[in-house]
Amino acid sequence: MRNKQPSLLTYNDVTPKEDFDNSRALISASRRQFMLQSSTVMLASGLAPSTLWAGNKIENIKKSMYSTKEKPTPYEYVTTYNNFYEFGTGKGDPVVNAHRLKTKPWSVTVEGEVGKPGVYDLEDILKRQQLEERIYRLRCVEAWSMVVPWIGFSLAELIKQMEPTSKAKYVEFTTLYDPEQMPGQNRRTLKWPYTEGLRMDEAMNPLTLMATGLYGEEMPNQNGAPLRLIVPWKYGFKSIKSIVKIRLTEHMPKTSWNEVASREYGFYANVNPQVPHPRWSQSRERIIGASLFTPKRDTEMFNGYGEQVASLYKGMSLRRFF
């Protein structure tokens, strides 16, 4: 498969991860403000940055042919600027609160239209998968984007091992529900637990990834540990985190954001610069980690992955099925 490569991004003035602790005096004013805010929330939580960001290295990672050539967003941005409402609605809340989440042991329930339903230990699932590094761009509905070197395995391979029946038309995913570990679930922001879904052909697309890590390390809690979905041509809210259940179904499942605000968040949620959010445009995006003076970039249809996925929606009105 020939992979269309989006235009290169430039981060020459970004502090590398390994130099982060000793480089505050050298960073630009915009980055200094960002890191000051991050440090403030970390200190408020009583946790050091190294505690929040520590992760075990993942061995035997295969480089993927599906990766973009864009330069990854620096690690400190990827791990401190997150949407994860189970830990709070602010972008800095997850990095402060997610240390409560216990990710080992972890199991995933498989049910619905499958030949092999059951409760599977995540470690056993991983033993049967080839882990890859895939550098994908993540585009969020708030019109910001970042490029992340995800570590994970093909969702299609996992589904094949479930032995789906002929009635399986959709895949539904469910996040852990535990308000003690996830304090954001004590608020009625959404109907908990968080749920998301894909059409079967979307789930089986080679680009769709079940991610278990990033930057060669195990997934940080605030990024969706220990198992999250990555669908790079869709807005970020489709990439459900901390998955505990996968259900194959004949009918389109309900999804959390579509239930709470159907005019704003469609089931498909394909990145589409021609379909604005009711309260803002989606035609341009802000690159997280870029200089304050870097202009916004044009949003690409399907987030730049149109060559691989546009055929999935042939004949559909993407304004109606947004």
Q: Are 173 and 87 in contact (CB under 8 A)?
A: no
| pLDDT beyond 80 at 25 | no
SS3 29: helix
| pLDDT beyond 90 at 18 | no
> CATH assignment of 58-74+102-313, given 3.40.50.2300, 3.40.50.2020, 3.90.420.10, 2.40.50.100?
3.90.420.10
SS3 153: strand
| pLDDT beyond 60 at 37 | no
What type of residue sits at position 147?
V
| pLDDT beyond 90 at 204 | yes
| pLDDT beyond 60 at 14 | no
The residues facing 217 across adjacent strands are 57, 214
Q: Tell me the pLDDT tens digit for each residue of 228-272.
A: 999 999 999 999 999 999 999 999 999 999 999 999 999 999 999
Q: What is the pLDDT of residue 292?
A: 80
| pLDDT beyond 90 at 187 | yes
Nearest to 13, CA basis, from 29, 37, 36: 29
- pTM summary value: 0.85
The residues facing 152 across adjacent strands are 132, 211
Q: What average pLDDT does range 214-218 have in this prediction?
A: 97
| pLDDT beyond 80 at 297 | yes
Q: Where are the domains of the chain?
A: 58-74+102-313
DSSP label at residue 70: S
CB-based contacts of 178, cutoff 8 Å, min separation 6: 185
Separation of alpha carbons 155 and 284, rounded Å: 30
Q: What is the pLDDT of residue 54?
A: 57
Q: What is the pLDDT of residue 316?
A: 97
SS3 4: coil
Residue matched to tokens 């990145």? 271
Q: What is the pLDDT of residue 233?
A: 98
Q: Are 4 and 305 in contact (CB under 8 A)?
A: yes
DSSP label at residue 27: S
